[in-house]
Amino acid sequence: GAYLAGDSYAELAERHGVPLNTMRTWLRRSLLKLRECLER
């Protein structure tokens, strides 16, 4: 799994009060946007 600043998906999801799947989707979406910006 991916870790951001030492937080696991589960910890992030719990902190933001969202389901684990939602957190995964958010992170995947933001990573894809970041990658697009870097490739330009």
Write down how long the chain is. Answer: 40
pLDDT per position in the chain (40 positions), as tens? 455 556 788 888 898 899 989 988 998 999 999 999 999 8
pLDDT of residue 25: 93
Cα gap 10→14, rounded to integer Å: 6
- Residue 29's pLDDT is what? 94
38 Cα distance to chain centroid? 17
pTM for this model (two decimals): 0.58
Instruction: Enumerate the domain spans of the chain.
Output: 9-39
How many CA atoms lie within 13 Å of 22's alpha carbon, on the beta-carbon side?
9
